[in-house]
Amino acid sequence: MDLLEKLVGEGTGGLILCGALLVLGTCVLPMCAGMRVPRQDGEKCRPDEPHEIPAKAKITSLRVYPVKSCAGHEVQQASLGDRGLEMDRQWMIVDGRGRFMSQRRFSKLALISPSLPKTKDEPLVLSAPGVASLEVPVVRKVGAGGPAAGGELVEVGVWKDTCQAIDQGDAAASWLQAFLGVDNLRLVRMKDGFVRPTDPGYGTGFRTGFADGFPMLLVAEESLEELNSRIAATGDGEQAAVGMDRFRPNIVVRGWGPFAEDDWTKIRVGRIGMRTPKPCSRCQIPGINQSTLEVRKEPRQTLDTFRTGSHVARWNEKWSKDVFFGMNVLHESTGVLRVGNDVDVLRAASKASAKKTQ
């Protein structure tokens, strides 16, 4: 592989190659235009790694959230594009300064149920309890004079990132303002072709939509079961088990055991290589019941006892006071994900940095 890399250049996380097949010695690599091909050393855990390759996990659920911080959809399959799952967090609600709105500030966003358009031009339908639904034509081009002519190009912010988006019109803004009881809100859609790169500290060449920082989030069912078991063990009858919807995952898996995902740094679904560069730090949103909006101290109280940065040792020590649940995911190529797909582990964390959760 060293000679090959010198000839064609090594991209981050793999080789970008075109053609049908490239044969070098005994190594055969499938080539697809524009696809990111995993390096040979990522195809299996190395012999000196501390963890044996586990049994395969399987995808048990796929979830797409068209509008950031609003309700999502469970689907049987989802196309995986450059920014993540197609239609995932392509729309966002912003305030008068262009800053994103989330359940951290307005928990009522959880009650807004956007439709899941099947194509880029299919209208988005906004629904919520007690109000009439609104069909929002998709405005994809820049222009003036109403949705048919185009929308205003605006700059909006997601944390420290500035993104280009297109305003989706006054009707959507009025509907949101009336339901949420907040002035100066706008619905925007990420501009086609706009590139929002992910943090280069976790790998370059990756991008996302309006998600907080990574294109996808993976959660294991066994990890949620372990969390709920610990919540129940507190003896606090007021704290019911929390559902998967509290954590807003894109990919839900089963088969590895509780928190085994902490140990894997690279996985594969079919031919799609994925990295899990860091665990997902959790804010107060998992404490919000997504149906009733009731706020409870769990799961944060229990996560504080076993899922802080100091417990999950391979992560940066500056995160010692954060709590983590689920894994952020970067994908190395596009394709289709399906419920029932096998999930293979390709690479484990090094022995020096891996630590079992206590």
Assess if residue 196 is contained within a domain: no
Residue 217 has pLDDT above 70, yes or no: yes
Residue 343 has pLDDT above 70, yes or no: yes
166-193 exposure pattern, b = at least 16 Cβ within 10 A, e = fewer: bbbbebbbebbeebbebeebbbbbbbee
Report the CATH number at residue 266: 2.40.33
The number of residues making up the chain comes to 358
Q: Report the alpha-carbon distance of residue 198 to residue 98 in Å, rounded.
A: 20
Q: For 86-100, 125-139, 155-169, 297-311, which range has the lowest pLDDT when averaged over its residues? A: 297-311
> Is residue 223 located within the same domain as residue 184?
no
> Is residue 177 located within the same domain as residue 292?
no
Q: Which of 190, 217, 246 is the last residue of a domain?
A: 190
Assess if residue 79 is contained within a domain: no
> Is residue 211 located within the same domain as residue 339?
yes
Assess if residue 166 is contained within a domain: yes
- Residue range 151-155: average pLDDT? 94
Q: Report the alpha-carbon distance of residue 211 to residue 66 in Å, rounded.
A: 10
**Pairing relationship of beta strands 335-338 and 77-81 according to DSSP bridges:** antiparallel
Residue 48 has pLDDT above 80, yes or no: no
Give the model's pLDDT for residue 182. Answer: 96
The conformational region for residue 227 under phi > 0 = left, psi -120 to 50 = alpha, else beta, is alpha
Full DSSP string of 213-243: SSSEEEEEHHHHHHHHHHHHHTT-TT-PPPP
Q: Report the alpha-carbon distance of residue 123 to residue 135 in Å, rounded.
A: 6
The CB density around residue 321, as the number of other CB atoms within 10 Å, is 10
> Is residue 21 located within the same domain as residue 141?
no
304 phi and psi angles, rounded to 5 deg: -60, -25
Q: Which of 157, 190, 223 is the last residue of a domain?
A: 190
- Residue range 131-141: average pLDDT? 95
Instruction: Spell out the residues 6+ positions from residue 136 whose beta carbon is closer than 8 angstroms to its own.
Output: 123, 124, 125, 126, 168, 169, 171, 172, 187
pTM: 0.82
Assess if residue 330 is contained within a domain: yes
> Is residue 113 located within the same domain as residue 241?
no
Per-residue tokens: 283? 């804010």
- Residue range 215-235: average pLDDT? 95
Cα distances (Å, whole numbers) of residue 236 to 89, 105, 284, 290: 36, 27, 19, 21
Report which of 138, 144, 133, 132 is spatially closest to residue 91, judged by C-alpha positions: 138
CB-based contact 334:82 (threshold 8 Å): yes
- Residue range 280-297: average pLDDT? 93
> Is residue 209 located within the same domain as residue 330?
yes
> Is residue 182 located within the same domain as residue 210?
no
> Is residue 329 located within the same domain as residue 230?
yes
Q: For 133-137, 230-234, 236-240, 287-291, which range has the lowest pLDDT when averaged over its residues? A: 236-240
Assess if residue 248 is contained within a domain: yes
Query: Is the peptide bond between 299 and the residue preceding it cis, with omega within 30 degrees of 0?
Result: yes
> Is residue 125 located within the same domain as residue 227?
no
- Residue range 311-324: average pLDDT? 72
Q: Would you place residue 23 in the very low, low, confident or very high pLDDT band (cuts 50, 70, 90)?
A: very low
Residue 67 has pLDDT above 90, yes or no: yes
Q: How many CA atoms lie within 13 A of 206 on its CB side?
A: 27
Residue 354 has pLDDT above 50, yes or no: no
- Residue range 175-180: average pLDDT? 98
- Residue range 82-105: average pLDDT? 96
Q: Mapping DSSP to helix (H, G, I), strand (E, B) and coil, where does residue 288 land?
A: strand
Per-residue tokens: 141? 């081009």
Q: Would you place residue 66 in the very low, low, confident or very high pLDDT band (cuts 50, 70, 90)?
A: very high
Assess if residue 67 is contained within a domain: no
Q: Taking all residues of the chain, what is their mean pLDDT, rounded to a whole number?
A: 83
Assess if residue 78 is contained within a domain: no
Residue 334 has pLDDT above 80, yes or no: yes
Q: Which of 136, 157, 190 is the last residue of a domain?
A: 190
Give the model's pLDDT for residue 341. Answer: 98
How many domains in the chain? Answer: 3
Assess if residue 74 is contained within a domain: no
354 or 146: which leads in pLDDT: 146
> Is residue 20 located within the same domain as residue 98?
no
DSSP designation for 141: S
pLDDT, tens only, 180-191: 999 999 999 999
The CB density around residue 105, as the number of other CB atoms within 10 Å, is 13
316 or 90: which leads in pLDDT: 90
> Is residue 162 located within the same domain as residue 216?
no
> Is residue 94 located within the same domain as residue 180?
yes
Its domain, for residue 186, covers 88-190
Which runs of consecutive H residues, i.e. helices, occur in 136-288?
170-180, 221-233
Q: Report the alpha-carbon distance of residue 355 to residue 358 in Å, rounded.
A: 9
